[in-house]
């Protein structure tokens, strides 16, 4: 009987999700018409004339590419892909010795990641445009990217976790960035039967302190929650500042066939965490320091190098020991998104398998805690009575709600994966105002500032999981796709489709004027503290140390110094330490060496980077500039003579026949 029930449930769930993969009939009707596609004035609204700038930046997660892509809105133009968790041959990130340490983890060098949720730093609940954080879901990590240089400056690994998914959201003064484990796991990790999961696995919620000046991250504490799956999270804001909310699924603690076994309970929970209380508890000596090995990778913009600091302990907090700090709020079946409105009053659970959306009230929650309106407890954590915390439910809004964002006018915008639509509704009266189909099966949506107290009421970007027929076909794999809506009026207006890289999950948007004016143009040569930097051509040289050959090289339009090098031998390890002497905006040079089985380097003005080359063959081998830098770019080239192992060809380096820096 149980088996039959299970297979029926599987059928129902599968059928629900399958319908999403085909265009629905309503989609078909509108496709190609003015309503579904572009109305005439929509073109004007997204047109950014040649030479003009977009009004907003959109930082769109690269998903399984591990990177972060930067787009302009409303044009949908792709400006840059910032390498974060994956090696990138375009920028040598994760290939050159300077950046390789960024990808160190306790599991070794991991050159790939799965990035999900970018979130921009905030001050007083408003985006301040200093940094963007993004989580890595596979090998749990959080990265911090500078919005001056658009480079990854720090990556911290999160121990005692697996699948860092409910991350990397920031509190309203960027006090903390959080990381919550998606998968429950044994803590500490150990060899044990999988079937004994229930009651024995844990779900760590990590609070990572952000230094207000430098942005440097440090794990302040980890709350060892019951072994549920912690899916998404958002901070309280305004009146609920000091709290953090995490959605959970698999409160059944099933270890197999989760599509059925984790859908048994009619309600799962949103975990409400009073982090201010826990912070106080930890500051007063609470919690337990336990050993944990994890990598903390920090970029130094002065030395142009990253280094890995190996951390070896973390503070663990037992949730039952801090009274009044943690509660469970019952929420419709297997919620995905867990979103908090700009006032901080409403906490919304997007129950992907439920017909209704759960809206909880922060005011009611506080009263319920005071009145002890509990419905028992789970692992010692009080469960608040549903009626005591629930503001109301939005009935039959659509099928498969995933994520919600907000405007400042009291409206919520929710994505529905199964019914492929975005629904605009009023939170206070729980009434649907407008709905618009998307093409197809939308995941996250993003309103610039939508995860803050001050959203921009202008644009909404829907990030769709399935693209189908929206673009010219490119074989079985078609791009993922985003759609831009104008939300300034009562009705949402679809303006634009644009392709995205990887599988974008979330995105973060911000007005361009908060970032563009302080965008870095060059690195100052006189501030370059790279140990192998040269400040002028006269300082360039070649030094042999055993079988290591260190070339202190410079580049400037349109030559390298030195550009003829002799005395290198098979079996040597050659380090090209190359400094770009240019001090002009947008004049990088590149360098690459025949047979080098690592990336070229693309070096920004004032920067020093290193290319490592191990010559395998005797000969005279060329190198060249890879970036078209001037009219004489093709002439920007040189030779390295490689002699047999053990030969006595003398070390020699010249530019136009002279040794750089020596008097003629
Ligand atoms: Cu794709 Cu936020 Cu990782 Cu939902 S998550 S869609
Ligand atoms: Cu330098 Cu091309």
Nearest ligand to the CA of 632 is 2
Which atom of ligand 1 is nearest to 117's Cα? Answer: 2
| SS3 state of residue 558 | coil
- In Å, how far from its chain's centre is CA 300? 20
Which pLDDT value is given to residue 24? 42
* Residue carrying the six token digits 């001056």: 148
Does the pLDDT of residue 149 top 70, yes or no?
Answer: yes
Average per-residue pLDDT for the chain: 93
CB count within 10 Å of CB 594 equals: 13
Nearest ligand to the CA of 352 is 1
Which atom of ligand 2 is nearest to 558's Cα? Answer: 1
- Tokens describing residue 208: 């990572």
pLDDT in tens, 495-508: 999 999 999 999 99
For residue 74, say if its preceding peptide bond is cis, omega within 30 degrees of 0. yes
C-alpha dist (Å) from residue 648 to 109, 134, 164, 199, 566: 38, 52, 55, 70, 11
Which pLDDT value is given to residue 353? 85
Does the pLDDT of residue 363 top 50, yes or no?
Answer: yes
Helix then strand then coil, % of the chain, to nearest 5: 15, 45, 45
pTM of the model: 0.94
181 Cα–ligand 1 center, Å: 14
- Calpha distance 221→292 (Å, rounded): 12
Q: What is the dihedral of CA 333, 359, 16, 3, to 10 degrees?
A: 10
- What lines the ligand 1 site, CB under 6 Å? 116-117, 165, 232, 336, 402-403, 443-444, 505-506
Q: Show the CA angle centred on residue 607, arms to residues 602 and 609, nearest 5°.
A: 60
Highest average pLDDT, of 23-27, 117-121, 257-261, comes from 117-121
Closest Cα to residue 244, out of 130, 85, 119, 116? 119
- Calpha distance 206→163 (Å, rounded): 13
Q: How many residues does the chain have?
A: 664
Q: How confident is the model at residue 13 (pLDDT cuts 50, 70, 90)?
A: very low
Closest Cα to residue 405, out of 364, 330, 355, 350? 350
Which atom of ligand 2 is nearest to 590's Cα? Answer: 1
Residue whose CA lies nearest to ligand 1 atom number 5 = 505
- Calpha distance 460→239 (Å, rounded): 26
Residue 37 class from Cβ within 10 Å (0-12 exposed, 13-18 middle, 19+ buried)? Answer: middle
Contact call for residues 483 and 461 (beta carbons, < 8 A) = yes
Contact call for residues 519 and 510 (beta carbons, < 8 A) = no
535 Cα–ligand 2 center, Å: 18
Q: How confident is the model at residue 2 (pLDDT cuts 50, 70, 90)?
A: very low
- Tokens describing residue 663: 């008097």
Which pLDDT value is given to residue 278? 98
Nearest ligand to the CA of 119 is 1
592 Cα–ligand 2 center, Å: 11
Closest Cα to residue 551, out of 489, 613, 632, 500? 613
What is the sign of the dihedral through the CA atoms of 237, 240, 241 and 247? negative
586 Cα–ligand 2 center, Å: 12
Closest Cα to residue 588, out of 534, 522, 516? 522
Average pLDDT of the segment spanning 477-500: 96
Does the pLDDT of residue 27 top 60, yes or no?
Answer: no
Contact call for residues 503 and 477 (beta carbons, < 8 A) = no
- Tokens describing residue 609: 């980077």
pLDDT in tens, 519-530: 999 999 999 999
Contact call for residues 455 and 405 (beta carbons, < 8 A) = yes
Which atom of ligand 2 is nearest to 557's Cα? Answer: 1
Does the pLDDT of residue 146 top 70, yes or no?
Answer: yes
Residue whose CA lies nearest to ligand 1 atom number 6 = 443
622 Cα–ligand 2 center, Å: 14
| SS3 state of residue 231 | strand
pLDDT in tens, 453-478: 999 999 999 999 999 999 999 999 99
Nearest ligand to the CA of 400 is 1
Bridge partners (DSSP) of residue 401 are: 416
Q: How confident is the model at residue 40 (pLDDT cuts 50, 70, 90)?
A: low
Which pLDDT value is given to residue 522? 98
- Tokens describing residue 173: 């003064």
Contact call for residues 165 and 231 (beta carbons, < 8 A) = yes
Which pLDDT value is given to residue 355? 77
Q: How confident is the model at residue 39 (pLDDT cuts 50, 70, 90)?
A: low
Average pLDDT of the segment spanning 379-404: 95
């Amino acid at each position: 009987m149980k088996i039959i029930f299970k297979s029926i449930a599987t059928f129902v769930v599968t059928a629900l999700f399958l319908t999403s993969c085909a265009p629905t009939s309503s989609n078909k009707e509108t496709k190609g018409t003015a309503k579904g596609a572009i109305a005439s004035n929509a073109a004007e609204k997204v047109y950014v004339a040649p030479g003009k700038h977009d009004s907003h930046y959109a930082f769109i997660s690269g998903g399984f590419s591990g990177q972060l892509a930067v787009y302009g809105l409303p044009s949908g133009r792709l400006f840059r892909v910032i390498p974060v968790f994956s090696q990138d041959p375009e920028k040598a990130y994760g290939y050159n010795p300077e950046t390789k340490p960024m990808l160190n983890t306790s599991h070794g060098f991991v050159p790939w990641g799965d990035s999900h949720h970018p979130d921009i730093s905030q001050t007083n609940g408003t985006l301040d445009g200093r940094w963007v954080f993004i989580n890595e879901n596979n090998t749990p990590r959080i990265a911090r990217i500078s919005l001056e240089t658009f480079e990854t400056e720090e990556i911290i690994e999160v121990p005692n976790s697996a699948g860092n998914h409910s991350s990397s959201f920031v509190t309203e003064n960027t006090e903390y960035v959080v990381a919550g484990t998606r998968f429950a796991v044994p803590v500490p990790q150990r060899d044990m039967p999988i079937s004994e999961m229930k009651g024995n696995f844990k779900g760590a919620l990590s609070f990572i302190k952000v230094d207000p000046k430098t942005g440097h991250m440090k794990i302040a504490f980890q709350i060892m929650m019951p072994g549920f799956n912690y899916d998404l999270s958002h901070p309280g804001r305004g009146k609920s500042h000091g709290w953090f909310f995490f959605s959970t699924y698999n409160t059944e603690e099933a270890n197999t066939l989760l599509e059925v076994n984790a859908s048994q309970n009619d309600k799962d929970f949103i975990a409400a965490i009073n982090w201010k209380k826990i912070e106080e508890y930890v500051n007063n000596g609470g919690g337990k320091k336990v050993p944990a090995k994890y990598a903390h990778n920090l970029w130094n913009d002065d030395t142009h190098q990253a280094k890995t600091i190996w951390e070896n302990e973390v503070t663990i907090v037992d949730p039952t020991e801090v009274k009044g700090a943690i509660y469970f709020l019952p929420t419709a079946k297997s919620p995905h998104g867990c979103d908090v409105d700009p006032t901080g009053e409403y906490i919304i659970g997007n129950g992907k398998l439920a017909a209704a959306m759960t809206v909880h009230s922060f005011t009611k929650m506080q009263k319920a805690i005071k009145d002890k309106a509990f419905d028992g407890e789970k692992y010692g954590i009080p469960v608040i009575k549903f009626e005591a915390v629930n503001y109301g439910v939005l009935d039959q809004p659509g099928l498969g709600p995933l994520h919600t964002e907000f405007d400042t006018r009291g409206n919520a915008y929710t994505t529905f994966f199964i019914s492929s639509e975005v629904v605009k509704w009023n939170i206070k009266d729980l009434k649907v105002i407008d709905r618009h189909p998307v093409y197809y099966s939308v995941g996250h949506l993003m309103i610039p500032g939508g995860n803050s107290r001050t959203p921009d009421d202008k644009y909404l970007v829907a990030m769709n999981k399935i693209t189908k027929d929206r673009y010219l076909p490119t074989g079985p794999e078609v791009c993922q796709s985003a759609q831009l809506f104008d939300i300034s009026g009562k009705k949402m207006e679809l303006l634009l489709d644009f392709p995205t890289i990887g599988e974008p999950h979330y995105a973060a948007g911000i007005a361009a004027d908060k970032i563009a004016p302080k965008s870095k143009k060059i690195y100052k040569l006189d501030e370059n503290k790279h140990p192998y930097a040269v400040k002028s051509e006269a300082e360039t040289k070649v030094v042999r140390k055993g079988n290591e050959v260190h070339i202190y090289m410079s580049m400037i339009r349109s030559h390298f110094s030195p550009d003829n090098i002799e005395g290198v031998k098979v079996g040597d390890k050659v380090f090209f330490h190359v400094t770009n002497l240019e001090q002009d905006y947008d004049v990088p040079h590149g360098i690459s060496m025949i047979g080098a089985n690592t990336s070229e380097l693309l070096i920004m003005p004032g920067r020093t980077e290193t290319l490592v080359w191990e010559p395998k063959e005797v000969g005279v081998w060329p190198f060249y500039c890879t970036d078209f830098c001037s009219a004489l770019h093709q002439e920007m080239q040189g030779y390295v003579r490689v002699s047999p192992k053990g030969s006595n060809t003398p070390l020699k380096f010249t530019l136009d026949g002279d040794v750089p820096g020596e008097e003629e």
